[in-house]
Each structure stands twice: as C-alpha cells, then as structure tokens.
Amino acid sequence: MTGKILPRDFYSRNTLTLARELLGKVLVKGETAGVIVETEAYPGGEDLASHSAAGITSRTKVIFGPPGHAYVYLCYGMHVCMNIVVDQEGSPGCVLIRALEPVGGLEVMRGRRQRARTDRELTSGPAKLTQALGIVLDDYGADLTRGGLTVRSPRHHQNFAIEVTPRVGLRKCEDSPLRFIIAGNEFVSG
DNA sequence: GTTGCGATAGTCT
DNA sequence: GACTATCGCAACG
C-alpha cells in the first residue's frame, strides 16, 4: 500500500515547496494510513497567522527545531490538529495537514469516528483525520522518519492537478493563497 | 442542501 | 481574561 519513508532531507526546504510536495504522500499511524490531499503553509516570520510568529514558547519550540517532526496542538479546547515541521533548524515553518484520502485501516478509522456517516467524513478535516488515525497531543515532537507515525511515498505514483486557495478559518492574513489541494479529490474539506 | 451557533481547555497577555 | 489553523447538531428551505 505504501512505499519508503521520506528522508530528513525531503523536509529541509522552504514551507511553500513542502506544502505542494506533501500532496500525494502517505501519512501512516499504526495500521491506519491516508494520502495527503489538502495542506496549508504556515511559513512563520512575516506570516502573522503562524503560531511561530509569536516566537519560541513551550508550544511552538518544535517548529524552530529540525524538520521532519510532528507539531500537534489543541484547537478550540477539544480538537487536535497536526502539522509537519519543515525548513532548516532555526527557520520556523510548518505545514498543516487538512485532509486525507483513507487507504488503509478503514475499519479502525470507522471505529474511532462513530459520528462519521460516510467514509468521506472520516478524514475530510484537520481534526477529523487526527481522530481517525489516532494522533493525540502525546505525538507532539514525534520523528516522522522513524517510529509509529511516519510519512511515506505512495507505492504507485499518480499525476494530479494542484489548486491553490486562501487558508481556512483564519482571522489574520486570511487572503494569502497558501492552501494547496488535489483538484477534484472527494476527501478535500469543505 | 445550507446556515448559525455552542462546546471546551490550553496558551499567551 | 481573551482568544482559538474546528466540528457536529439543530433549524430551516
């Protein structure tokens, strides 16, 4: 179902490049897996919507560390969202994973997301996909090049068109075109 | 099918 | 003490 784990070097490029490159890659946690079909870039620095714009805190420190790690945080007091730390150590940058197309462990996902009435609702949103894959706050800082939470190449490469739109759910910098989706994919969020 | 709103807790001012 | 990178339910059409 999935190919090789992506190496550290893959992640040490700029944030916008990674937001595009991560589309079509496979996020794997335990026996569950999904193809990344929607991402958002949070470059830090000048981008005031990035959590890292406020500087290094206990929550954001992983974003300033080496790339290829997970930045997991709690949103609205009840939802868990997952980012991938990118760019070189010392340069803040991360990519929010907003939607997946489930490709493995569907039965496990359905068990974790009883509210989902269709398979589309399993992973068509940032907090839905973490619930479906069993990603929790304890996965903060996890190394994505080894262990139970990894990102891999797809076994069979497919061509697809990429669409760019503004990011979702922001009050700051809401017009910046930093959201990337696989055009026409059914599992992209609404 | 669409719109509106309440829940809930960690983080920073 | 305010704010939040969301979701799901209820009430419409």
- Give the range among A17-21, A29-33, A59-63, A153-157 with minimum mean pLDDT: A153-157
Distance, CA of A96 to C1' of C6, in Å: 13
Q: pLDDT for A91-101, tens place per residue?
A: 999 999 999 99
Q: Which residue matches tokens 């490469």?
A: A157
Percent share of chain A, pLDDT over 90: 95
Mean pLDDT of the region A65-76? 98
Please indicate, yes or no, if residue A131 is contained in any of the structural domains.
Answer: yes
On the CB side of A118, CA atoms within 13 Å amount to 6
Task: State how far the Cα of A147 lies from the Cα of A160, in Å rounded to an integer.
Answer: 29
Point out the nucleotide closest to A170 (alpha carbon to C1′): C5
Given this model, what pLDDT does residue A190 score?
A: 83
* Calpha distance A118→A141 (Å, rounded): 31
- In order of A1, A100, A104, A161, the CA distances from A157 in angstroms are 11, 16, 17, 13
Average pLDDT rounded to a whole number, residues A7-23 = 98
Backbone torsions φ then ψ of A157, nearest 5 degrees: -70, 135
Q: Residue A108 falls within a domain, yes or no? A: yes
Domain-embedded: residue A189:
no
The answer to whether residue A57 scores a pLDDT higher than 70 is yes
How far, in Å, is the CA of A111 from the C1' of nucleotide C6? 21
Mean pLDDT score across all residues of chain A: 96
Q: What pLDDT, on a 0 to 100 scale, did the predictor assign at position A128?
A: 98
- State both tokens at A147: 């262990």
Tell me, yes or no, whether A8 lies in a domain.
yes
Name the pairing type of β-strands A149-154 and A70-75: unpaired
Rounded average pLDDT over A5-28:
98
* Nearest Cα to Cα of residue A163 among A45, A26, A39, A12: A39
Q: Mean of the pLDDT values across residues A142-147?
A: 98
CA distance A140 to A83: 10
Using the C1' atom of nucleotide B13, identify the protein residue whose alpha carbon is closest.
A54
pLDDT at A1 over 80: no
Check if residue A59 sits with its Cβ under 7 angstroms from strand B.
yes
A188 is a domain residue: no
pLDDT at A162: 98
State the Cα–Cα distance between residues A108 and A80, nearest whole angstrom. Answer: 18
Query: Is the model's pLDDT at A79 over the cut of 80?
Result: yes
CATH number of the domain that residue A128 is part of: 3.10.300.10
- For the segment A151-178, the average pLDDT, to the nearest whole number, is 94
Q: Comparing A120 with A171, which gets the higher pLDDT?
A: A120
Query: A187 lies in a domain?
Result: no
Q: Is the pLDDT of residue A157 over 90?
A: no
Domain extent, residue A61, equals: 2-182
Q: What total number of domains does chain A contain?
A: 1
Asked if residue A190 is part of any domain, the answer here is no
> Within 7 Å: CB of A83 and strand C?
yes
Q: Taking residues A63-85, report their average pLDDT.
A: 98
CB atoms within 10 A of CB A74: 14
